[in-house]
C-alpha cells in the first residue's frame, strides 16, 4: 500500500448531522431512514433477482414462463374443460393474474426474509423492513415484465384496452404496492416471533386467491347473490378484489359479453348466445373514486404497518 | 474536540426465555407461560469519544462489550438511554455478515457497501482500492461461495476500511487472515489514526489495546468499571480478572497472593544504558504458592519491549511476606521511560495468580547516538 492513492482531506465533523439512537425511533424518523437508504433497496432487489436466476439457463425468462404455465393451466381448466364461456378468456385471466402474482410473490417471499437473513440482521444496522421491501421490489419487476407480455398478448389478439380508463392504472397500482408492502413488512416481522406464520401464509394465500375474482368473473360469482342482499361490500373487504377488477376493466374492457355455447341436438348443433355479466357496470368515476379511496386507506395501512414493524423490531436480536 | 460518540446512560435488557414457545400451537397452549427473566446486559453506561480518538473496550466474555458495540452501531436498540453519533460509521462486527454467497465478489462489494450506507458512486470511486487491498483481483468475479474463509474476510475488511468512514467500529476481527494481512490491517488502522478518524475497538488483547489505543473502557457485568488511560484501565481489567478467577477457582488452587511494591536498593529507578538494574518485588501470600514469575517492559507508547519467559522463572512462595529479586544484567534500552509490569502465573497453564500493572517506571539514560528502543551497536566494516 506504499503508493495508495492519497485520500481526500478529512472533513470537519463539527457540523455533521447528529444521529440519535434511542429506545424507539418515531415514525417520521423511520420513514426518513427508509428513504435515505433507497440505494440499498435497489441493490437488494438486483441481488434478489440475480440470485433467483443464478445458474439457470433461461434466467429472467422464467419470470414470464412460470406465469405462462399457470395461465395455460387455468385456461384449459376453466375455458376448455369447464366452458365458462368468457370469450378471450386468456386476456381476462392474465389481467387479473398479474395483479395476484405481484401480491403473492412479494408476500410469500417476504414472510421468511428476516428469519432467513438473521446473520445480517443481527450484525449490521439498516432499516430491516428494507429486506421485506426488496422482495416487493423484485415482485414489481416481474410484474412489469408480465405487463409487457400482457401488452403483447393484447396486440396478438387485437384486443384494445380501455384507453380512457388507463389513467386510473397508476392509482390502482400504487394502492396495490402499498397493500403488498404493508402485508410483507408485517408478516416478515411476525414470522420472527411465530415461525408457523410462514406455513400458515402459504395456506392463507391459496384461500385468498380463490376469494379474488381472477379465474372466475366477479359478476358471475357469489357477488351477485351478495348484491341481491345489499351486502356486496363484503366482497371488497378483500382489497385485492377492487384492484383486480380495475385491471380487468382496463385490459379486458367488456363488462358484458355474449357467451357462445353450442347446443347439441339430434338434428344439428346450434350456437346459442347468452348475455353474460363479467365485470360490474360502473362508470369511470366510480372506478376512480373507489381506487382513490383504496389508495388513501392503504397509505394509512402502510404507516400502521411501519409502526408495527418498529415495535416488533426491538426484540429481533433475542428472538433470532 | 468534537464529541463524535456520546453514550448517555445506556441500559440494555434482554428477555431470557427459559421455555421457548415459538410455534403457534405452543403459544396458544401456553399463552403466558415460559418464564422469562430479565437479563441486564448493559447497566447505565455513559461515556463520550472525541473526534480522532482510538478507544479500546475491554472486558471478559459476557461483560457486555458486544452489546455496547451493537447499540452504538444501531443493530440493537437500547432499553433506555440514547446514543448520539456524528459522522458516518462503518462497523466490523462480523466480517462478511452481509455477503450473499451466490453473488460474485464484485456484486458483494457493492451490496455490502450499500448495506454499510454508502452509495454506488462512492463505491465506484474506491472499487479499485478495495480490490487492491483485498488482493483478490483474479477472483473478484468469482462467486463468494467459492472463496476460502481467508479470502472472504479479506474482502469484507477491504470494503469496510476503504469506504471512508468517520468512525470505525471493530469487534475482535483483527485476528483474521495470515500474519501479513494482519500487519496490513494494523497498518491501515494506524493510517486511520493519522488521518484523525475515530476508532472504537473491542479486544481481549492487552497488547493490541496498549499498542494502538489512546484510552480504554473496561466493562464488567454490564457496568463500566474503568474509563481512562490504557495503562490504568488495563490494571483495573487485570485486577478484576484475578478477582473473578479467585471466585471461580476457589481458594484451594490459588491462595491469596498480592504484589505489594517494587523497589530498588537505592530507591532510584534511573539506570544508565549498559549498566545493571536490580528490582526488589515484595509479595504477600496467604498460603504457600508456587508459580512462575513474569516481567514485562513497555515503552510509554505502549510498545512491548520484552516479556520474560515465565517457565524459566519458577518461584516458591511461603506464607507471609516474600521478596523476589529481579536482576537485569546490562540494560540495552535507549533513552526514555519504560513501564514495568510484574506478575506471578500458574505453573501449568498461564493463569495469572497475581499481577501488578505499571509496578515501576524506569528511566534509562543513554549518551550514544543510536535511535529507537534497543541498542544494537552494529559494527560496520567494508568487506572486499
SS3 A46: helix
Q: Is-contact B326 B276, C-beta < 8 A? A: no
Measure in Å the smallest separation between the Cα of A205 and chain B Cα atoms: 18
Inter-chain touch B22–A37, beta carbons under 8 Å: no
User: Would you state the pLDDT for residue B20?
Assistant: 58
Segment (H or E) for B39: strand B36-50
Please tell me the distance from the alpha carbon of residue B59 to that of residue B351, in angstroms, as a whole number.
Answer: 16
Q: Is-contact B110 B81, C-beta < 8 A? A: no
Classify residue A281 as exposed, middle or buried by CB count within 10 Å of its CB (0-12, 13-18, 19+): exposed
- Mean pLDDT of the residues in chain A: 84
Inter-chain touch B103–A47, beta carbons under 8 Å: yes
Angle between helices A89-111 and A168-193 (to 10 degrees): 30
Inter-chain touch A14–B188, beta carbons under 8 Å: no
* Alpha helical stretches, state H, chain B: 24-29, 65-73, 105-115, 120-134, 149-162, 179-194, 206-212, 230-249
Inter-chain touch B102–A54, beta carbons under 8 Å: yes
DSSP string, B157-225: HHHHHHS--SEEEEES-TT-S-HHHHHHHHHHHHHHHHTT-EEEEE-S-HHHHHHH-SEEEEEETTEEE
Does some domain include residue A9?
Answer: no
Inter-chain touch B77–A39, beta carbons under 8 Å: no
Residue to substitute from B13, B24, B40, B77, interface A, most A β-carbons within 10 A:
B77
Q: Chain B 292-311, CB below 8 Å of chain A: which residues?
A: none
Q: Which residue has the higher pLDDT, A20 or B315?
A: B315
Binned at pLDDT 50, 70 and 90, residue A291 comes out as very high
Measure in Å the smallest separation between the Cα of A2 and chain B Cα atoms: 11
User: Would you state the pLDDT for residue B32?
Assistant: 59
Residue to substitute from A15, A38, A43, interface B, most B β-carbons within 10 A:
A43
Measure in Å the smallest separation between the Cα of B94 and chain A Cα atoms: 7
Q: How many domains does chain A have?
A: 1
Please tell me the distance from the alpha carbon of residue A93 to that of residue A209, in angstroms, as a whole number.
Answer: 13
How far, rounded to the nearest angstrom, does the alpha carbon of residue A97 sit from its chain's CA centroid?
A: 10
Q: Is-contact B155 B108, C-beta < 8 A? A: yes
Nearest to A43 among B77, B84, B111 (CB): B111
Question: Is it the case that residue A180 has pLDDT exceeding 80?
Answer: yes
For residue B175, give Cα distances in angstroms to B57, B150, B171, B303, B355.
16, 11, 10, 18, 25
Please tell me the distance from the alpha carbon of residue A151 to that of residue A156, in angstroms, as a whole number.
Answer: 9
Please tell me the distance from the alpha carbon of residue A57 to that of residue A268, in angstroms, as a whole number.
Answer: 52
Inter-chain touch A119–B97, beta carbons under 8 Å: yes
Other C-beta atoms closer than 10 Å to the C-beta of B257 total: 21
Classify residue B341 as exposed, middle or buried by CB count within 10 Å of its CB (0-12, 13-18, 19+): buried
For each of the domains in chain B, give its residue range(s) and CATH number, in order of start. 1-87+209-244 (3.40.50.300), 250-365 (2.70.50.60)
User: Would you state the pLDDT for residue A139?
Assistant: 94
Does some domain include residue A262?
Answer: yes
Binned at pLDDT 50, 70 and 90, residue A304 comes out as very high
Nearest to A125 among B75, B80, B129 (CB): B75
Does some domain include residue A167?
Answer: yes
Question: Is it the case that residue B33 has pLDDT exceeding 60?
Answer: no
Does some domain include residue A204?
Answer: yes
Inter-chain touch B166–A13, beta carbons under 8 Å: yes
DSSP string, A115-155: HHTHHHHHHS-S-THHHHHHHHHHHHHHHHHHHHHHHHHHH
At A127-179, the pLDDT tens digits run 889 999 999 999 999 999 999 989 998 999 888 888 888 999 999 999 999 99
Measure in Å the smallest separation between the Cα of A197 and chain B Cα atoms: 8
Q: Which residue has the higher pLDDT, B334 or A295?
A: A295
Nearest to A187 by CA among A133, A118, A242, A243: A133
Q: Is-contact B39 A318, C-beta < 8 A? A: no
At B246-305, the pLDDT tens digits run 555 444 445 678 888 889 988 888 888 888 999 999 998 888 888 888 888 888 877 788
Q: Is-contact B100 B144, C-beta < 8 A? A: yes
φ, ψ dihedrals at B93, nearest 5°: -80, -40
SS3 B338: strand
Q: Chain A residues with CB inside 8 Å of B94's CB?
A: 119, 123
Inter-chain touch B22–A314, beta carbons under 8 Å: no
| Rg, Å, chain A Cα set | 24
Q: Chain B residues with CB inside 8 Å of A47's CB?
A: 100, 103, 107, 111
Q: Which residue has the higher pLDDT, A192 or B61?
A: A192
User: Would you state the pLDDT for residue B250?
Assistant: 42
Q: Chain B residues with CB inside 8 Å of A18's CB?
A: 84-86
Does some domain include residue A18?
Answer: no
Share of chain A above pLDDT 70, in %: 88
SS3 B235: helix
Inter-chain touch A124–B119, beta carbons under 8 Å: no
Segment (H or E) for B321: strand B320-328
Please tell me the distance from the alpha carbon of residue A59 to that of residue A65, in angstroms, as a whole number.
Answer: 10
User: Would you state the pLDDT for residue A27?
Assistant: 84
Q: Chain A residues with CB inside 8 Å of B196's CB?
A: 10
User: Would you state the pLDDT for residue A261?
Assistant: 64
For chain A, say whether B315 makes contact (Cβ under 8 Å). Answer: no
For chain A, say whether B187 makes contact (Cβ under 8 Å). Answer: yes
Nearest CA in chain A to B102: A51
Inter-chain touch B22–A195, beta carbons under 8 Å: yes
> Within a 13 Å sphere around the CA of A64, how many CA atoms are in the beta-carbon half?
14
Inter-chain touch A22–B195, beta carbons under 8 Å: no
Q: Chain B residues with CB inside 8 Å of A318's CB?
A: 14-16
Does some domain include residue A255?
Answer: yes
Q: Chain B residues with CB inside 8 Å of A120's CB?
A: 97-98, 115
User: Which of A182-186, A302-306, B93-97 has the least mean pLDDT?
Assistant: B93-97
User: Would you state the pLDDT for residue A64?
Assistant: 81
The β-bridge partners of A79 are none
Q: Is-contact A182 A298, C-beta < 8 A? A: yes
User: Would you state the pLDDT for residue A253?
Assistant: 82
Q: Is-contact A302 A308, C-beta < 8 A? A: no
φ, ψ dihedrals at B333, nearest 5°: -75, 155
Other C-beta atoms closer than 10 Å to the C-beta of B1 total: 11
Please tell me the distance from the alpha carbon of residue A211 to that of residue A117, in angstroms, as a whole number.
Answer: 32
Residue A216 lies in domain: 28-319
Does some domain include residue A12?
Answer: no
For residue B16, give Cα distances in angstroms to A193, A315, A318.
14, 11, 8
DSSP string, B270-302: EEETTS-EEEEEEEEESS-EEEEEEEEEEETTS
The β-bridge partners of B201 are B56, B170
Q: Count of residues for chain A?
A: 320
User: Which of B3-7, B179-183, B347-351 has the least mean pLDDT?
Assistant: B347-351
SS3 A240: helix
Q: B198-202 and B167-171: which strand pairing?
A: parallel
Share of chain B above pLDDT 70, in %: 89
Q: Chain A residues with CB inside 8 Å of B83's CB?
A: 20-22
Q: Chain A residues with CB inside 8 Å of B172's CB?
A: none
Binned at pLDDT 50, 70 and 90, residue B71 comes out as confident
At B81-99, the pLDDT tens digits run 888 888 888 877 777 777 8
Does some domain include residue A6?
Answer: no
Please tell me the distance from the alpha carbon of residue B141 to that of residue A167, in angstroms, as a whole number.
Answer: 44
- Mean pLDDT of the residues in chain B: 82
For residue B212, give Cα distances in angstroms to B58, B160, B193, B208.
13, 19, 9, 6
Q: Chain B residues with CB inside 8 Å of A4's CB?
A: 129, 132
Share of chain A above pLDDT 90, in %: 38
Nearest CA in chain B to A317: B76
User: Would you state the pLDDT for residue B164?
Assistant: 76
Nearest CA in chain A to B133: A1
Inter-chain touch B119–A13, beta carbons under 8 Å: no
Amino acid at each position: 500500500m506504499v503508493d495508495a492513492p492519497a485520500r481526500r482531506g478529512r472533513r470537519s465533523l463539527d457540523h455533521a448531522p447528529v444521529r440519535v439512537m434511542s429506545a424507539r425511533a418515531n415514525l417520521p424518523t423511520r420513514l426518513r431512514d427508509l428513504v435515505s437508504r433507497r440505494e440499498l433497496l435497489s441493490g437488494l432487489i438486483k441481488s434478489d433477482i440475480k440470485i433467483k436466476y443464478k445458474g439457470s439457463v433461461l434466467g429472467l425468462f422464467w419470470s414470464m414462463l412460470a406465469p405462462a404455465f399457470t395461465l395455460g393451466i387455468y385456461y384449459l381448466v376453466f375455458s376448455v374443460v369447464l366452458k365458462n364461456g368468457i370469450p378471450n378468456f386468456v386476456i381476462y385471466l392474465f389481467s387479473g393474474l398479474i395483479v395476484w402474482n405481484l401480491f403473492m410473490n412479494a408476500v410469500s417471499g417476504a414472510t421468511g426474509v428476516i428469519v432467513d437473513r438473521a446473520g445480517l440482521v443481527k450484525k449490521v444496522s439498516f432499516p430491516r423492513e428494507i429486506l421485506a421491501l426488496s422482495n416487493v421490489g423484485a415482485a414489481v419487476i416481474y410484474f412489469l415484465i408480465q405487463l409487457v407480455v400482457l401488452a403483447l398478448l393484447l396486440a396478438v389478439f387485437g384486443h384494445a384496452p380501455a384507453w380512457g380508463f388507463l389513467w386510473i392504472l397508476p392509482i390502482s397500482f400504487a394502492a396495490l404496492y402499498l397493500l403488498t408492502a404493508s402485508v410483507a413488512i408485517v408478516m416478515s416481522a411476525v414470522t420472527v416471533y411465530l415461525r408457523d406464520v410462514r406455513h400458515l401464509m402459504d395456506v392463507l394465500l391459496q384461500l385468498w386467491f380463490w376469494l379474488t375474482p381472477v379465474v372466475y368473473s366477479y359478476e358471475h360469482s357469489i357477488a351477485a347473490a351478495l348484491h341481491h342482499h345489499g351486502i356486496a361490500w363484503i366482497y371488497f373487504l378483500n382489497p385485492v378484489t377492487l384492484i383486480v377488477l380495475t385491471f380487468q376493466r382496463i385490459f379486458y374492457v367488456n363488462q358484458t359479453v355474449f357467451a357462445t355455447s353450442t347446443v347439441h341436438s339430434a338434428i344439428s348443433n346450434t350456437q346459442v348466445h347468452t348475455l353474460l355479466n363479467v365485470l360490474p357496470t360502473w362508470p369511470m368515476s366510480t372506478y376512480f373514486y373507489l381506487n382513490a379511496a383504496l389508495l388513501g386507506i392503504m397509505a394509512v395501512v402502510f404507516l400502521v404497518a411501519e409502526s408495527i414493524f418498529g415495535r416488533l423490531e426491538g426484540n429481533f436480536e433475542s428472538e433470532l | 474536540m468534537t464529541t463524535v460518540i456520546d453514550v448517555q446512560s445506556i441500559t440494555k435488557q434482554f428477555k431470557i426465555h427459559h421455555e421457548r414457545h415459538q410455534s403457534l400451537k405452543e403459544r396458544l397452549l401456553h399463552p403466558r407461560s415460559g418464564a422469562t427473566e430479565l437479563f441486564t446486559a448493559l447497566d447505565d453506561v455513559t461515556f463520550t469519544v472525541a473526534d480522532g480518538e482510538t478507544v479500546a473496550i475491554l472486558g471478559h466474555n459476557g461483560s457486555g462489550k458486544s452489546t455496547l458495540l451493537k447499540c452504538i452501531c444501531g443493530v440493537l436498540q437500547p432499553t433506555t438511554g440514547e446514543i448520539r453519533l456524528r459522522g458516518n460509521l462503518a462497523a466490523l462486527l462480523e466480517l462478511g455478515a452481509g455477503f450473499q454467497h451466490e453473488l460474485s465478489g464484485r456484486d458483494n462489494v457493492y451490496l455490502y457497501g450499500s448495506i454499510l450506507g454508502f452509495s454506488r458512486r462512492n463505491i465506484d470511486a474506491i472499487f479499485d482500492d478495495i480490490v487492491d487491498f483485498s488482493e483478490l483481483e483474479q477472483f473478484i468475479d468469482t462467486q463468494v461461495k467459492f472463496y476460502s474463509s481467508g479470502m472472504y474476510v479479506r474482502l469484507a475488511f477491504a470494503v469496510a476500511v476503504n469506504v471512508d468512514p468517520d468512525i470505525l467500529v471493530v469487534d475482535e476481527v483483527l485476528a483474521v487472515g495470515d500474519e501479513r494481512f494482519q500487519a496490513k490491517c494494523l497498518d491501515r488502522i494506524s493510517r486511520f489514526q493519522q488521518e484523525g478518524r475515530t476508532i472504537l475497538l473491542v479486544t481481549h488483547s492487552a497488547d493490541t489495546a496498549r499498542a494502538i489505543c489512546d484510552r480504554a473502557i473496561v466493562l464488567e457485568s454490564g457496568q463500566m468499571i474503568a474509563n481512562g488511560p490504557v495503562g490504568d484501565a488495563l490494571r483495573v481489567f487485570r485486577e478484576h480478572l484475578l478477582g473473578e478467577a479467585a471466585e471461580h477457582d476457589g481458594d484451594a488452587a490459588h491462595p491469596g497472593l498480592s504484589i505489594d511494591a517494587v523497589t530498588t536498593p537505592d530507591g532510584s529507578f534511573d539506570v544508565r544504558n549498559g549498566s545493571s538494574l536490580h528490582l526488589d518485588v515484595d509479595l504477600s501470600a496467604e498460603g504457600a504458592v508456587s508459580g512462575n514469575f513474569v516481567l514485562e517492559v513497555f515503552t510509554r507508547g505502549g510498545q512491548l519491549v520484552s516479556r520474560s519467559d515465565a517457565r524459566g522463572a519458577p518461584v516458591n512462595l511461603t506464607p507471609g511476606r516474600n521478596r523476589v529479586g529481579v536482576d537485569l544484567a546490562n540494560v540495552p534500552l535507549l533513552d526514555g521511560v519504560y513501564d514495568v509490569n510484574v506478575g506471578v502465573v500458574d505453573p501449568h497453564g498461564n493463569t495469572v495468580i497475581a499481577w501488578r500493572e505499571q509496578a515501576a517506571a524506569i528511566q534509562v539514560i543513554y549518551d550514544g547516538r543510536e535511535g529507537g528502543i534497543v541498542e544494537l551497536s552494529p559494527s560496520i566494516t567494508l568487506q572486499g
